[in-house]
Structure 1
Amino acid sequence: MKPGVWHRLDVIARGLLPAFSVFVLLLINLLPVSLPLLSTASPSLALMAVFYWSVNRPDLLTALTAFFLGLLQDLLMGLPLGVSSLVLLLVQTGSASQGRFFHNKSFIVMWWGFALVAIPALLVQWLLSSALIGALLPIKATLISYVLTALLFPLVAWVLARTQNSLLRYM
Structure 2
Amino acid sequence: MALRPTVGQQIDLALRRSIPVALAVLLLFLGILPWNTHGLGPMNANLVLIPIYYWTLYRPRLMTVWAVAALGLISDFLMGTLLGVNMLTFLVGYRVAVSQRKIFAGAPFIIVWAGFLLMSGVAGLVQWLLATIVKEQIDFNLRPALFLYMIGAVAYPPCAYAFAWIQRRSLFRVA
TM-score where L is the length of structure 2: 0.89
**Hey, what's the Cα distance between the residues in 2 that align with 1:13 and 1:158?**
21
CA 1:35–1:72 in 2, change beyond 3 Å: closer, same or farther?
closer
**5 Å matches for 1:1-171?**
1-34=3-36, 39-40=39-40, 42=43, 44-137=46-139, 138-171=141-174
SS in structure 1 at match of 2:173 = coil
**Hey, what's the Cα distance between the residues in 2 that align with 1:167 and 1:100?**
24
**Hey, what's the Cα distance between the residues in 2 that align with 1:95 and 1:29?**
21
**Hey, what's the Cα distance between the residues in 2 that align with 1:168 and 1:19?**
13
Q: Please, which moves more after superposition, 106-115 or 78-87?
A: 78-87
Q: Please, which moves more after superposition, 99-108 or 132-141?
A: 132-141
State the shift of 1:35 in Å.
Answer: 5.0
Where structure 2 has 5 or more consecutive residues not aligned to the other structure, the ranges are none
State the shift of 1:74 in Å.
Answer: 1.0
State the shift of 1:136 in Å.
Answer: 2.9
The Cα offsets for residues 4-60 of structure 1, whole Å up to 9 and x where unpaired, read as 100001111111111111111100001111356xx4153621011111111111111
Identity %: 31
Where structure 1 has 5 or more consecutive residues not aligned to the other structure, the ranges are none
TM-score where L is the length of structure 1: 0.91
The Cα offsets for residues 60-107 of structure 1, whole Å up to 9 and x where unpaired, read as 111111011011111111222101111111221221232221233211
Q: Please, which moves more after superposition, 95-104 or 13-22?
A: 95-104
Question: How many equivalent residue pairs?
Answer: 169
**Hey, what's the Cα distance between the residues in 2 that align with 1:47 and 1:114?**
9
SS in structure 2 at match of 1:61 = coil
Given that residues 93 and 122 in structure 2 are in contact (C-alpha distance below 8 angstroms), is that contact kept between their aligned partners in structure 1?
Answer: no
Given that residues 80 and 133 in structure 1 are in contact (C-alpha distance below 8 angstroms), is that contact kept between their aligned partners in structure 2?
Answer: no
**Hey, what's the Cα distance between the residues in 1 that align with 2:81 and 2:153?**
21
